[in-house]
């Protein structure tokens, strides 16, 4: 296995990437050898300021993506803003989906107390969420969940890296009631 072959396979795989097991099978190497090659390749990409790519891992899948340093030239190339902004409503819906997935639109609406269809359409169009089956109830409503692109966009390798919801509850209590952290930690 050489770096050129690894790079070629990852390039051709594009946004889909290639999962660890498939790379191991393709190159007929042990997981240890594969990780050693990948770690060296990641290091070489990071160290070379003349390279515009980096290798990331999302849910056991490796992908070649552009470095943040290339953002300005890519913006010019695409003539649109690569870093899109989400409305408050879309961020609320995304947080609900992230922590409650899989979840239906009606369940999201019940949590928020307002309609969420537009925010769901925006998040789906931007690839942050996707339909994740149908709920086994009358009407068989769509279930939504986050995508690998969501993980990639926010810099997580897996959903396990997301902050725990309990952390937000404690911070919210501190912020809204003026309670200092020492008092919270005593209780």
CA torsion, ordered 102, 105, 107, 110, to nearest 10 deg: 150
- pLDDT number for residue 105: 94
**What is the CATH classification number for the domain harbouring 26?**
1.10.10.10
Sequence-ordered list of residues with C-beta below 8 angstroms from that of 82, at least 6 positions apart, any chain:
71, 74, 75
- pLDDT number for residue 186: 43
Residue 80 token pair: 């649109």
Q: What is the pLDDT along the chain (187 residues), one digit of tens a residue?
A: 888 999 999 988 887 899 999 999 999 999 999 999 999 999 999 999 999 999 999 999 999 999 989 988 877 766 554 456 788 889 999 999 999 999 999 999 999 998 888 889 889 888 899 999 999 999 899 999 999 989 988 889 999 998 888 776 655 444 444 444 444 444 4
Q: Rounded distance, CA 68 to CA 136, Å? A: 42
Assigned domain for 25 exists: yes
Our measurement of the distance from residue 5's CA atom to the centroid of its chain's CA atoms, rounded to an integer in Å, reads 26
Assigned domain for 67 exists: yes
Sequence-ordered list of residues with C-beta below 8 angstroms from that of 67, at least 6 positions apart, any chain:
51, 52, 53, 54
Is the pTM here over 0.85, yes or no?
no
- pLDDT number for residue 29: 95
Assigned domain for 187 exists: no
In a shared domain, residues 49 and 96: no
- pLDDT number for residue 164: 86
In a shared domain, residues 151 and 93: yes
Question: Domain range for residue 137?
Answer: 88-156
Cα within 13 Å of Cα(164), Cβ side: 3
């Amino acid at each position: 296995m050489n770096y050129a072959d690894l790079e070629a396979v990852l390039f051709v795989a594009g946004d889909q990437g290639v999962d660890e097991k498939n790379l191991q099978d393709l190159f007929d190497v042990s997981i240890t050898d594969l990780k050693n090659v990948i770690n060296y390749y990641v290091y070489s990409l990071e160290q070379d300021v003349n390279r515009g790519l980096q290798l990331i891992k999302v849910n056991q899948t490796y992908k070649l993506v552009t470095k943040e340093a290339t953002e300005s030239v890519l913006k010019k190339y695409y003539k649109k803003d690569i870093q899109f902004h989400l409305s408050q409503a879309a961020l609320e819906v995304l947080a609900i989906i992230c922590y409650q997935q899989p979840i239906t639109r009606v369940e999201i609406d019940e949590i928020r107390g307002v309609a969420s269809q537009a925010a769901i359409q925006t998040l789906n169009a931007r690839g942050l969420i996707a339909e994740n089956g149908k709920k086994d109830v009358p009407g068989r409503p769509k279930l939504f969940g986050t995508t690998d692109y969501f993980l990639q966009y926010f810099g997580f390798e897996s959903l396990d890296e997301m902050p725990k919801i309990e952390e937000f509850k404690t911070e919210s209590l501190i912020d809204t009631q003026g309670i200092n952290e020492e008092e919270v930690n005593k209780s």
